[in-house]
Amino acid sequence: MTNRVDRRVLLRALVVLVASAAAFFVLTALGTPALAAGTDTAVTHAVASSGEAAAHATQAGTTITAEAAAPAKPGDNRVVQQLVNGLVFGLLLALASVGLSLIYGTTGLSNFAHGEQVSLGALLCFFFTTPQPVSLPLLPFEFSIGLPLIPAAIAAIAVSAGTGWLQDKFLWSPLRRRRVSIVQQMIVSIGLSLAMLNFIQWWFGAERQRLTTSIDERIDMGMFSIGISTLWSVAISLLCLGGVAYFLMRTRTGRATRAVSDNPALASASGIRVDKVVRLVWIMATGLAAVGGILLALYDNAAAFDVGARLLLLMFAAVTLGGLGHPFGALVGSLVIGVAVEMSTLWVGTDLKYAVALAILILVLLVRPQGILGRPERVG
Amino acid sequence: MSDAPVIVHADDLYAGYLPGIDILNGCSMEVREGELIGIIGPNGAGKSTFLKSLFGLVPIRAGSVKLGDEDITNMRADELVQRGIGFVPQNNNVFPSLTVMENMEMGTYQNPKAFKAAWERIGDLFPKLVDRKNQRAGSLSGGERQMVAMGRALMMDPKVLLLDEPSAGLSPDRQDETFVRTREINKTGVTVIMVEQNARRCLQICHRGYVLDQGTTAYTATGQELLKDPKVIELYLGTLGA
């Protein structure tokens, strides 16, 4: 029965995806103003993965990939290219936002500081990977680390996950124990977000930092092209999201996490140490945010101190669209948002692409208030 | 039964949800092993608060609770589960997004090796749950949810089971079924402490009853004695259906 229900909701999500893709395809096929615009603009859109990438399209790497991705005929494979870009962006967004969903599910908290965890992950990776002399806050001297990318990424993820442990141990857990209301906790998270944003800017500066100087080689797949490092990012995202799904559905602690998400008081009455589960969720959420931040920075060629803050609304939109607190809501919502954001650039200006994502959020919620995967509960 | 050792002893409890506002004002109770105890009283008497304070869900400001010889006053719920106390809340007593089987699994969270044997035992007691094992608990009817809730609490093979108004919101035939099940559970040797609004039905099946009034223990006697007590009839049971 469960499998049947799950298949049904997945099918529903697929229908939404296909319908939105088809709608965009029809609109583009009808020849909207954006298609009629110059090829350069459209091609730049084709490889722009987010607002930053579009704004910095003059950077060497992006320009090269833009040229590589140039379609032979305008309007021929642009839709497919944008669909692929959207799916990739959606997967990376899912990785960044799945932790937001897990924290909301287990504690009820809408954590506004989650965006900064994404930025922190990316910039910590830069910190560990850069061969330039770097400094730590409050330390009077500089030193160089210059680790290779993969060990640097692992170190950044570990440190980020550590910040999740620290936050829960010294901030969120005491607030919960003192029965501080969820709204008050949310205000605290907004304050923490601002504090972290300023701290990260003070530490790393306002300029965009590149995690790697190498230029991504692109593979021509016929209808679209994709970078090799992007393929790796997609594989890592799928692995991480699959891991989270396996943890939640197949392990005892994962099922306990879902139980805490459903009803913390009853979970405690069943013998589950709710505080331990929530701590684990904080560690996982911040670790996954770091993975998402690093992969987004690689996909975008660079990361800035406010990359997470810019993505926060999209992450909230994805989590809400997918179904608040639903374990796979973040994934489905992110894919829809990713595709909508990237494909909207075919017919509206890049500046409006996030607005399109939020318009889709409103439309879907008007039809399905519980989100795509959310299920209405029986009353009585 | 009167020779059996005391398993739960609550002594002069003062407790409440908010600082400075006590709902319990000196509640005491003594429960012997294997007993089925009913707690009745008017609305607002503190029945559910009393049960929750025993399970560490409402802070006790004065008095003590003992399980056997061990002081368990204000102990965490998961520690009480470890010591063999199960609790079935009145509302929100299942995990709606988990399947029936997963709900049962949460019952043996502290001892996963016991799951298989416990599931067979609960399956014998509630065969309907076996048929619905892969169904989400959130899609079950009120009576079925009550079965899941009781089954989950029994999975951990508790020494003491605390039931908070198990018949609330159920149709009369489902209420009867719930009382019969409670009696069956008690017959397997589990000590049951039950808070009930349906006082008459509760006193019919329980060994002893406690009548709470304004946060204090007003009367205690056997279920049959309380059913015949003119004061209890006048104040709490009413004359209809006597």
Decide which of A214 and A335 is more confident: A335
User: What is the residue range of A62's domain?
Assistant: 7-367
Total count of domains within chain A: 1
Provide ipTM, 2 decimals.
0.86
Tokens of B177: 């079924």
The pLDDT score that the predictor gives to residue A308 is 92
Asked if B126 has any chain A CB less than 8 Å from its own CB, the reply is no
> Per-residue pLDDT tens for B136-171?
998 898 889 989 999 999 998 999 999 999 888 888
Using DSSP, state whether A219 is helix, strand or coil.
strand
Predicted pLDDT at B209: 93
The better pLDDT of the pair B53, A43 is held by: B53
pLDDT-wise least confident of A222-226, A264-268, A269-273: A222-226
Average pLDDT of span A120-142: 86
Instruction: Tell me if A380 is assigned to some domain.
Output: no
Give the pLDDT mean for B20-37.
92
In contact, B56 and B49? CB cutoff 8 Å: no
Per the CB < 8 Å rule, is A270 touching B81?
yes
Least confident of A167-181, A203-217, A280-294, A311-325: A203-217
- A272 contacts on B by Cβ (under 8 Å): 78, 106, 109
Select from A2, A261, A269 the Cβ nearest to the Cβ of B87: A269
Per-chain mean pLDDT for chain B: 89
Nearest to A378 among B55, B138, B152 (CB): B138
- For chain B, say whether A8 makes contact (Cβ under 8 Å): no
* Residue A26 covered by a domain: yes
Residues 6+ apart with CB under 8 A from B44: none
Tokens 């029809």 — which residue? A26
Q: Is the pLDDT of residue A140 over 90?
A: no
Distance from CA of A178 to the nearest CA of B (A): 12
Residue B159 vs residues A320, B84, B163, B198: alpha-carbon distances, Å? 43, 5, 13, 25
**Alpha carbon of A239 to those of A327, B59, B62, B78: distances in Å?**
16, 45, 53, 34
- Structure tokens that stand for B189 in this block: 């040797």
A373 is a domain residue:
no
pLDDT of residue B105: 95
Average pLDDT over residues A276-299: 95
Residues 139-168 of B with CB under 8 A from A: 139-140, 142, 152-153, 156
Q: What is the chain B residue with the closest CA to A272?
A: B78
What's the whole-number mean pLDDT along residues A270-280?
A: 95
Q: At A220, is the secondary structure helix, strand, or coil?
A: strand
Q: What is the pLDDT of residue A67?
A: 40
Q: Which helix (H) or strand (E) holds A317?
A: helix A307-322
**A75-126 pLDDT, tens digit each:** 457 888 889 999 999 999 999 999 999 999 999 999 999 999 999 999 999 9
Percent of chain B with pLDDT strictly greater than 70: 97
All residues of chain A having their beta carbon less than 8 Å from the beta carbon of residue B153 are 269
Question: Which one has a higher pLDDT value, A182 or A369?
Answer: A182
Would A339 be classed as within a structural domain?
Answer: yes
Report how far residue A20's alpha carbon sits from residue A336's, in angstroms, rounded to the nearest whole number. Answer: 8
Q: How far is B192 from chain A (nearest CA, A)?
A: 16
Lowest mean pLDDT among A200-214, A250-264, B12-26, B64-78: A200-214
Question: What local confidence, expressed as pLDDT, does residue A368 receive?
Answer: 86
For residues B106 and A369, the model is more confident at: B106
Q: Is B78 on the interface with A (CB under 8 A)?
A: yes
Count CA atoms closer than 13 A to A85's CA, side-chain side: 31
- pLDDT for residue A24: 60
In this model, does residue A60 exceed pLDDT 60? Answer: no
Can you give chain B as a three-state secondary structure string?
Answer: CCCCCEEEEEEEEEECCECCECCEEEEEEEEECCCEEEEECCCCCCHHHHHHHHCCCCCEEEEEEEECCEECCCCCHHHHHHCCEEEECCCCCCCCCCEHHHHHHHHCCCCHHHHHHHHHHHHHHCHHHHHCCCCEHHHCCHHHHHHHHHHHHHHCCCCEEEEECCCCCCCHHHHHHHHHHHHHHHHCCCEEEEECCCHHHHHHHCCEEEEEECCEEEEEEEHHHHHHCHHHHHHHHCCCCC
Q: A256-260, A290-294, B229-233: which has the minimum mean pLDDT?
A: B229-233
Whether B49 has a pLDDT exceeding 80, the answer reads yes
What tokens does B85 get?
């106390």
Write the pLDDT tens digit of every residue in B212-234: 988 888 888 888 888 888 888 87
Mean pLDDT confidence for B1-21? 87
Q: Of B76, B93, B112, which is closest to A266 when you measure between CB atoms?
A: B93
Which of A270, A275, A278 to mutate: most B Cβ within 10 Å? Answer: A270
Q: Is the pLDDT of residue A57 over 60?
A: no
B chain contacts of residue A258, beta-carbon cutoff 8 Å = 95, 97-98, 102
Residue A260: both structure tokens together? 């805490």
Residue B43 pLDDT > 90, yes or no? no
pLDDT at A68 over 50: no
Please report whether residue A240 resides in a domain.
yes
Q: Is A252 on the interface with B (CB under 8 A)?
A: yes
Say whether residue B219 is in contact with chain A using an 8 A CB cutoff.
Answer: no
* Distance, CA of A163 to CA of A288 (rounded, Å): 12
User: B110 CB near a chain A CB, below 8 Å?
Assistant: yes
A309: in domain:
yes
pLDDT of A78: 82
Whether chain A has a CB inside 8 Å of the CB on B214: the answer is no
Are B156 and B2 contacting, i.e. CB atoms less than 8 angstroms apart?
A: no
The band of B191, judged by pLDDT with boundaries at 50, 70 and 90, is very high
Helix axes B142-155, B115-125, angle to 10 degrees: 140
Interatomic CA distance for residues A129 and A112, integer angstroms = 28
Compute the mean pLDDT over every residue in chain A, rounded to the nearest whole number: 82
Q: Annotate A126-193 with three-state secondary structure.
A: HHHHCCCCEECCCCCCEECCCCCHHHHHHHHHHHHHHHHHHHHHHHHHHHHHCCCCHHHHHHHHHHHH
Across the range B51-56, mean pLDDT stands at: 92
pLDDT at position A58, please?
37
- Does A153 fall in a domain? yes
Q: Do B138 and A377 lie within an 8 Å CB cutoff?
A: yes
Residue A38 lies in a domain: yes
Among chain A residues, the shortest Cα distance to B162 is held by A269
Q: Which residues of A touch B110 (CB under 8 A)?
A: 271
For residue B130, pLDDT beyond 90: yes
